[in-house]
Amino acid sequence: MAKVHPNMVPAPGAVDEAPCAPSSSTEEPTTLTVWRKSLLFDCKGFTVFDAKGNLAYRVDSYASESGDEVVLMDAAGCPAFTVRRKRFSLQGEQWLVFSGEETRRAVYTVRRSGRGKTLAHVTACGGAGAGPSYEVEGSYARRSCVVYDGERRAVAEIRPKEVVGTDVFRLVVQPGVGVSLAMAVVVALEQIFARPSLLRSWSTID
């Protein structure tokens, strides 16, 4: 299998300028390699590397957990976003995205779409002054998705990585979009569309 974790020591500022905050925009697209595997023993999760092979993000979830709440951490281990399932939603499968570990007020919702080629809607919370909303199209099962903003501009893409298969893929994020947020959307898509999900026990579905 191809080498997917060349450098395990996190580099300062490898992806985000502030280690415990969502990333700011950059001049060039940011390319991450996402590995559907935790580096911790007896855990499931994600390990994410930047273009230089440095650790950028990680998700660790013990197999015994329901997976109804997942914390995306940066390379330093600081929570970037918490992704939590919204139970009993009248709008179907829905996940709430919270900034850091704060879980009182969601900043985004990620909801499965039943219309055409749109996989999911990523909707900003908070009314006036909230951030932009997005739509995800494509196939998460094939690791081939495009995230569009309200003006139909492609702002992020999930791309298959050659030869390796679906457990290792690329996430390409365009300037002006928070890299941490894009990775949080990937975590939510995993929860909604992966069968079985890497992070979730499907026996817990209501």
CA-CA distance, 90 to 97, in Å (whole number)? 18
Angle at 176 between CA 96 and CA 127, to 5 degrees: 40
The pLDDT tens digits for 155-198 are 999 999 877 778 999 999 999 899 999 999 999 999 998 876 77
The pLDDT tens digits for 73-96 are 999 999 999 999 987 666 667 899
Q: Return the domain boundaries, the chain.
A: 30-199
Please state, rounded to an integer, the average pLDDT across all residues of the chain.
82
Closest by CA position to 186, among listed 126, 129, 120, 124: 120
Q: Which residue has the higher pLDDT, 67 or 116?
A: 116
Q: What is the pLDDT of residue 181?
A: 96
pTM: 0.82
Query: Is 152 a residue whose pLDDT tops 50?
Result: yes
Q: Are 197 and 65 in contact (CB under 8 A)?
A: no
Q: Are 81 and 58 in contact (CB under 8 A)?
A: no
The pLDDT tens digits for 21-33 are 444 444 899 999 9
Distance from CA of residue 134 to its chain's centroid? 14
Q: Which residue has the higher pLDDT, 130 or 82?
A: 82
The pLDDT tens digits for 4-14 are 555 655 554 44
Closest by CA position to 143, among listed 30, 35, 47: 35
Question: Where in the chain does DSSP place strands (E)?
Answer: 30-35, 43-49, 55-62, 69-74, 79-85, 94-99, 108-112, 118-124, 134-139, 144-148, 154-161, 165-173
CA-CA distance, 38 to 62, in Å (whole number)? 9
CATH code, residues 30-199? 2.40.160.200
Mention every residue, 6+ apart, whose C-beta is less than 8 A from residue 51: 30, 31, 32
